[in-house]
A and B are shown apart, each in its own frame.
Chain A
């Protein structure tokens, strides 16, 4: 059903007149699914995310539930899609709860444009509970560890209850436990709320574990898509990352990726 699909067709975008992504087509993403965008540094992953979020000019078509999003104002975009950048800025004198309330107050969200003060407070606190950081509510943002900051950042995005959540490397700087907590939460919320999550990840193991689908991306173009085991193969790894690797399923059925070394330029397979 087109009702709950994110459909990206012929999307082109770039900076200063230089096109980075040209006529990109992504597989349709259904509500409730988590998809990961993987690829080497400089592949254009963040550019794609920013274009999907409406933060930079793009042409083509991005439809959510059949409705065209390209050309909408930021405020209208923000009713449907929330983009979570890699980091929170330093040196901000706000408490955790204030920052989440601030995210909700920035502009009206979906159906609850006229949310009252008390409703805003209650909803913000519920999100903190859900993310498991209620105990940090009144701490200053500057007193938090990197992992805690990332959870707060996630709470700021979730409080707006977006239909599509775009996460740009949410776990790159986190320890193992926080990596798990963030990804598990994203996965659960996607299922519960019917939210679409598109996540940029460098950790292929995590991508394989938490995603319904993988988009492998290189030089502004899609190289492989599909279920984790279909997209992440020795061949695509060699082509996209230039590494010699093997994949197998462990006794729990999870995809494991083992990298044996870097390929010489002449060993990298062409398309």
Chain B
């Protein structure tokens, strides 16, 4: 008799825990949805913010009925506001997703495209193109700087990639190599700056600040394609990435080919980070902070962590874009400066929180 009651008890307990678990899952889905709504809100805010005397209503109606605007107004909305705002969303999403995947596969909370040399490599590539005036046949001159930045950024991730595949190189080695890359590329950029002309130097400094003002429909389109292609693969790998958080040997024993998972993830990271940095320059901290915000909100089940990282990155970037237009009235600050200003305190907060925990 006592036994029967016990069985009923455990059945009831199991049912209540399952219900609580499902509520937790539903809450996480709601948080992701909430982030998406905030993203749309921030995007619209970004769209209606700017130095020109357009009212929010004019901007929004101009989106749906371009004829309602005068040609100069239409040009502002369609050639400036919209591509900038879309670029902010895409770059934030791409860098944050890249950071989330990097942090998981390298088992390091401080990993991001910025901290592991991808951005520095891109700066170096851009510096070479700007200062030495590289050109290639059939490639328009406008595209040389982003192309060169892309090649260098992609190359730096491939270098990290090769390290992970070397026998005996642990993930710590890869992280240390990434940090070495930051210093090496920064030194190379400084060297190129040192030998460059005054004019090229100015161009280079502006490039390395990271700005949405280089957004055009062409490069917004390209980044959108990259994001659209990469995201489904990332989400598909979510289950394996979650199991990797339980330890490498354990994940392998659960049937996950960790080496292949790392290779594919780093390939996605290199595409996302290199394309973003090539088009907008150095944007720090999004790739680091975006995933941390997502993790704090809903843990490390990657089915939720990855979408939330994408959305958190896009949200922070959109808000940074708004701030870059409003912090100093009448001045459009390079957004890379703003993300760093916003990002450093957040970064410190996360570090202290982490050390307090351990």
Which residues from chain A sit less than 8 Å from chain B, CB to CB? 15-16, 50, 53-55, 73-79, 81-85, 87-95, 97-99, 102-103, 105-108, 121-122, 125-126, 129, 134-135, 137-138, 140, 142, 156-157, 160
Do A55 and B254 touch (CB < 8 A)?
Answer: no
Do A83 and B239 touch (CB < 8 A)?
Answer: no
Per the 8 Å Cβ criterion, residues 116-155 of B in contact with A are none
Residue of A53, A76, A102 ringed by the most chain B CB atoms within 10 A: A102
Main SS class of interface, B: helix
Interfacial chain B residues near A129, Cβ < 8 Å: 10, 14
Listed stretches B73-81, B174-182, B294-302, B328-336; interface member: B294-302
Do A91 and B358 touch (CB < 8 A)?
Answer: yes
Closest residue on chain B to residue A55 by CB atoms: B252
Task: Supply 6 A–B pairs (Cβ within 8 Å), ascending by A.
Answer: A74-B252, A89-B107, A95-B299, A106-B242, A107-B254, A107-B255
A220–B16 alpha-carbon span in the complex (Å): 50
Closest residue on chain B to residue A16 by CB atoms: B168
Which of B13, B14, B247, B295 is within 8 Å of A93, CB to CB?
B295
Do B246 and A102 touch (CB < 8 A)?
Answer: yes
A90–B257 alpha-carbon span in the complex (Å): 22
A117–B62 alpha-carbon span in the complex (Å): 46
Contact with A along B242-269 (1 / 0, CB 8 A): 1101110111111111000000000000
Do A102 and B255 touch (CB < 8 A)?
Answer: no
Interfacial chain A residues near B255, Cβ < 8 Å: 74-79, 106-108
Do B21 and A138 touch (CB < 8 A)?
Answer: yes
Do A156 and B257 touch (CB < 8 A)?
Answer: no
Do B10 and A89 touch (CB < 8 A)?
Answer: no
Q: Is B18 an interface residue when CB atoms closer than 8 A count as contact? A: yes
Do A78 and B301 touch (CB < 8 A)?
Answer: no
A135–B18 alpha-carbon span in the complex (Å): 12
A140–B299 alpha-carbon span in the complex (Å): 9
Interfacial chain A residues near B22, Cβ < 8 Å: 121
Do A90 and B168 touch (CB < 8 A)?
Answer: no
Contact A106/B249 with A16-B168, A137-B21 known, Cβ cut-off 8 Å: no
Do A83 and B14 touch (CB < 8 A)?
Answer: no
Interfacial chain B residues near A85, Cβ < 8 Å: 247, 249-250, 253
Which residues from chain B sit less than 8 Å from chain A, CB to CB? 10, 13-14, 17-18, 20-22, 24, 107, 109, 167-168, 239-240, 242-243, 245-247, 249-257, 295, 299-301, 357-358
Known contacts A16-B168, A125-B14; 4 further A-B pairs (Cβ under 8 A): A91-B109, A121-B18, A138-B20, A156-B246
Interfacial chain B residues near A87, Cβ < 8 Å: 247
Interfacial chain A residues near B357, Cβ < 8 Å: 91, 142
Do A105 and B20 touch (CB < 8 A)?
Answer: no
Interfacial chain A residues near B168, Cβ < 8 Å: 15-16
A102–B244 alpha-carbon span in the complex (Å): 9
Which of A76, A81, A138 is within 8 Å of B253, CB to CB?
A81
Which of B17, B254, B301 is within 8 Å of A82, CB to CB?
B254
A102–B245 alpha-carbon span in the complex (Å): 9
Closest residue on chain A to residue B243 by CB atoms: A106
Do A50 and B257 touch (CB < 8 A)?
Answer: no
Do B10 and A134 touch (CB < 8 A)?
Answer: yes
A160–B254 alpha-carbon span in the complex (Å): 8
A134–B13 alpha-carbon span in the complex (Å): 8
Contact A82/B246 with A89-B107, A90-B358, A97-B17 known, Cβ cut-off 8 Å: no
A50–B168 alpha-carbon span in the complex (Å): 16
Closest residue on chain A to residue B254 by CB atoms: A106
Interfacial chain A residues near B247, Cβ < 8 Å: 85, 87-89
Closest residue on chain A to residue B24 by CB atoms: A138
Q: Nearest Cβ in chain B — how far from A110, in angstroms?
A: 11
Contact A93/B21 with A103-B243, A106-B240, A107-B256 known, Cβ cut-off 8 Å: no
